[in-house]
Amino acid sequence: KQEVTQIPAALSVPEGENLVLNCSFTDSAIYNLQWFRQDPGKGLTSLLLIQSSQREQTSGRLNASLDKSSGRSTLYIAASQPGDSATYLCAVSFVSGGYNKLIFGAGTRLAVHP
Amino acid sequence: NAGVTQTPKFRILKIGQSMTLQCTQDMNHNYMYWYRQDPGMGLKLIYYSVGAGITDKGEVPNGYNVSRSTTEDFPLRLELAAPSQTSVYFCASSYSTAGGEDTQYFGPGTRLTVL
């Protein structure tokens, strides 16, 4: 059974720090891995999607890596800002019963203070 | 485009009451999904649909029903509300899932409390 774990559960950092969020998954037979951002009272927004054949993806100050063989992904946020405060969710995708099933981790709650 | 919209945003139900959570998308997506998110947990799939007239169960379907009469709408029905159904409900849609290349777009959620 696929399980996704995110460490740490919560993180508080001063503005300007570089930080790393971790995600691990138990079954390496995935199609892709996504990182989502969730703001209070709002839905999820996809930040980065890494295909199973890729090693990393970058968008602005965000960089996500994927090591499928070891079942790990990291989200690196450079020069953090208060606007980065949110919950970050990791989800792995694989085909099950004719659709692309997403299994989510519980998330890392990030607070960036000025 | 409005994307994925959900109504209501908040609702309090008494045990045994019923209600329908509405979800509409204007992106002409084939696939639609309902998830629930309990405090401190990841999202779990309740039901999904691969097109109008076709629905199937996800991981946690008990206590819920869905229908998909149009491409745009995917309502979620709670027949006999129970405290265990207190959660935040998210609707999502995607164009296709072929090859795992397509991302899901999420609505803002409905926060439901059953007392």
- A84: helix, strand or coil: helix
Instruction: Give backbone dihedrals phi and psi of B38, rounded to 5 degrees, phi first.
Output: -90, 155
The answer to whether the Cβ–Cβ distance between A43 and B90 falls below 8 Å is yes
Closest CA to A59 of A44, A68, A49, A73: A49
The answer to whether the Cβ–Cβ distance between A51 and B101 falls below 8 Å is yes
Q: What is the pLDDT of residues A28-48, one digit of tens each?
A: 888 889 999 999 878 899 999
Q: What is the pLDDT of residue B2?
A: 80
Q: What is the pLDDT of residues A15-30, one digit of tens each?
A: 999 999 999 999 888 8
Q: Which residues of A touch B2 (CB under 8 A)?
A: none
Measuring CA to CA, how many Å separate B21 from each of B64, B78, B88?
A: 11, 8, 11
Task: Name the minimum distance, in Å, from the CA of B53 to any CA of chain A.
Answer: 15
